[in-house]
Chain A
Amino acid sequence: MSTLLDKIWDAHTVHRSGGGTDLLYVDFHLLHEGSSPQAFEGLRLAGRRVRRPDLTLATEDHVVPTRGLLGRTGVAATMVDALRRNCEEFGVALHRSGTAGQGIVHVIGPELGISQPGRIILCGDSHTSTHGAFGALAFGIGTSQVEHVLATQTAAFAKPKAMAVTLHGELPAGVSAKDVALAMIGRIGTGGAQGHVIEYRGAAVEAMSMESRLTLCNMSIEAGAKAGMIAPDAVTAEYLRGRPYAPAGRAWDEAVASWAALRSDDEAEFDRRVDIDVTTLSPFVSWGTNPSQVVELSGVVPDPSADPDPALRDAAERALTYMDLAPGTPMREIPVDVVFLGSCTNGRIEDLRAAAGLLDGHRIASGVRMLVVPGSAAVKKAAESEGLDEVFRSAGAEWRTAGCSLCVAMNDDSLAAGERCASTSNRNFEGRQGRGGRTHLVSPTTAAATALTGRLTAPSDLGALR
């Protein structure tokens, strides 16, 4: 009896060392400008080539500006130029900024049909777990491992444990995959899934769109998981049909038929199981400086002195000081300066549609700055064809080009010290969005509702306010 993890792992094992690590074949390797320059330099120094350029694809996302053009000088230009030279020299396909195929690496992989069931997909970025939504085993690696994959198309790892997270019931209206992810991380902690691959299962997962599944798997790393995955089904196949890298004709039929086997056997044993009843969930928001420090938006800032665990208590006290929040403050009373809609977590078309649905015909609160950053050039184009850009602009938000933007703040976008942001991104770490910046993680609809009122606001609060 095998789990989905077992099946994909075994099918890719090239060699077993017997000393704790297995050598795995990598089906696809995604690159970006942030984590690859030292890897290519390592290849050059050792006189090595890229073993499988055909299984490698690069894009520009982390440092590129999302307003205006990339400068010719400066650190961002240096990083992008290095990637362009490296891709040219080593024969790797590159989706340059300003072209139709560019975007955040975890948004374009699915769009291009690269993210397919049963594959092992690696990338030098921790949110590679996103691609697991297709029933792939996908996880982030560091630069040395990027060099290793470029040189050998393999990677050596100890096999992680398997963890089943089952989402029971139907999601209430206004509650999204992002809220589920935050609720889960709040329950199990930032190290709760350490050493495990999470397989998400259950009725609520089956009912989710591909975009929502991508959001859920994306956040797996914030619970410390190696990866997140969801067994492929009709939703998966329907999303992939006709995508540029998806098989076509008879090969498509064969691929879809083979995906049916990609599920955990009924009697498969998981090392750990977590069950979540989603019917009682409401929108979640983070109050602290790691993604487990969350509360329902209807709740209040918790009192650290109530925490029996001294380490968690210390972390909470530190977080409240950094966030400048007092225990007992209702979350709904917390004002924000900035709202960020975008990132590999929530920068897909469904996310933009959901937010635009609330903003349509309204203006964001005065004094609030809202950035809407599509996850890819293709998302931008689709949104514009639906008129969403006009909805955002009319509401007073900035409509940007594709990139990581304010999620990682290693580009032109960052918070000023003391600024408070409702963000659809994935990390509320100290300084993540800019030194001294304060982040509250939220869903796209909570972000939109918050932009309208200028205070943390659940979408369902708007009805009463309007």
Chain B
Amino acid sequence: MKPIRTITGRGVAIRRTSVDTDQIIAARHCLRTTRTGFAEHLFATWRAEPGFPVGDPAHDGATILFAGADFGSGSSREHAVWALQDYGFTVVVASRFGDIFADNAVRSGLVPAVVEDSAVGAMMDAVDADPATEVTVDLVALTIRAGGVEAPVRMSADTRQRFLDGHDGIDVTLRHEAAIRAFELAHVPIVKAP
């Protein structure tokens, strides 16, 4: 993973709550054995509706997605994260995320920025009013700024450090190999298949 300190770009807002991962990418489009090739299926059904903001030329090139609460609820499919990244998003901003989606995002290098609801709403207003509004997400200071609004980003110290360092999760864990080995020897016998 590439280290991420700050991201500046344009935003686009989906003013819907509980955007589940089935809407981000339908299961029938997850039948692939790679992590790429999902962009065309991102929000595929909704993008066919007139006025849906993602895919609207006014927001072309946006890298920061704003959405209503409980974004990424439902299925654990990491394809939802890969599709967002494939399409060009690097940050998703919402007041609350589905747990598994947020964990998948962190592990794949997509920033799930938890921001208080009223600030999300104000920033949505700003990017809707002017799609060229500059949005900056700063993981060093844990803040987000857009259209004259600034708000804190909620993120655990470990998650923040992971973005700043860009370390692979498995490598980080394997630093504790001795502790894992000791735990196994003390508590986890070999299981023979019946």
Show the binding face of A for B, using Cβ within 8 Å: 14-15, 17, 19-21, 23, 25, 27, 34-35, 37-38, 41, 46, 48, 52, 54-55, 62-63, 75-76, 78-79, 82, 93, 112, 124-126, 139-145, 147-148, 151-154, 156-158, 160, 190-191, 194-195, 221, 224, 226, 244-245, 290, 311-312, 314-315, 318, 408-410, 414, 427, 429-432, 435
Contact = CB atoms under 8 A, between A and B. Distances in A.
Nearest to B20: A429
Interface in B72-113: 73-78, 81, 96, 98-101, 103-104, 107-108
A78 B32 CA distance: 8
A35 B69 contact: no
B78 A35 contact: yes
A126 B75 contact: yes
B31 interface: yes
Nearest to A312: B17
Contact of A144 (B30, B32, B45, B169): B169
Contact of A148 (B73, B76, B169, B184): B169
A7 B41 CA distance: 42
Given A55-B188, A79-B33, A191-B73, 5 more contacts: A21-B156, A143-B35, A145-B103, A409-B27, A410-B30
Interface residues of B, number: 58
A25 B183 contact: yes
B30 to A, nearest CB: 6
B176 interface: yes
B31 A78 contact: yes
Nearest to B48: A435
Contacts of B74: 126, 221, 427, 429
A139 B188 CA distance: 20
Nearest to B188: A25
Interface stretch (B57-65, B124-132, B134-142, B157-165): B157-165
A27 B26 CA distance: 31
B158 A54 contact: no
B33 to A, nearest CB: 4
Contacts of B192: 54
Given A78-B31, A431-B26, A35 B77 contact: yes
Interface centre among A48, A82, A148 (most CB of B within 10 A): A148
B73 A78 contact: no
List the 6 closest pairs (A to B, CB-CB), nearest first.
A20-B156, A142-B104, A144-B107, A142-B78, A37-B33, A19-B158
Interface centre among B26, B69, B99 (most CB of A within 10 A): B99
Nearest to B71: A191
A25 B187 contact: yes
A142 B179 contact: no
Nearest to A51: B180
A93 B194 CA distance: 11
Contact of A78 (B33, B101, B161, B193): B33
B70 interface: yes
Given A37-B33, A78-B31, A311-B69, A55 B100 contact: no
B30 A34 contact: yes
Contacts of B17: 311-312, 314-315
A152 B179 contact: no
A243 B109 CA distance: 41
B169 A156 contact: yes
B47 interface: no
Nearest to A56: B191
A48 B180 contact: no
Contacts of A314: 15-17
Contact of B22 (A21, A190, A318, A432): A432
Contacts of A15: 176, 179
A63 B27 CA distance: 10
A348 to B, nearest CB: 21
Contacts of B108: 144
Contact of B16 (A82, A143, A315): A315
A144 B45 CA distance: 26
Contact of A75 (B26, B31, B156, B170): B31
A19 B156 contact: yes
B31 A141 contact: no
Contacts of B99: 160, 194-195, 224, 226
Contact of A410 (B27, B96, B161): B27
A143 B104 contact: yes
A112 B193 CA distance: 11
Nearest to B157: A19
B173 A148 contact: yes
27 contacts: A14-B179, A15-B176, A20-B157, A35-B76, A41-B33, A82-B33, A124-B76, A126-B74, A139-B100, A140-B76, A142-B78, A142-B100, A142-B107, A143-B35, A143-B104, A148-B107, A152-B173, A154-B180, A156-B173, A195-B99, A311-B17, A312-B17, A409-B27, A429-B22, A431-B26, A432-B22, A435-B26
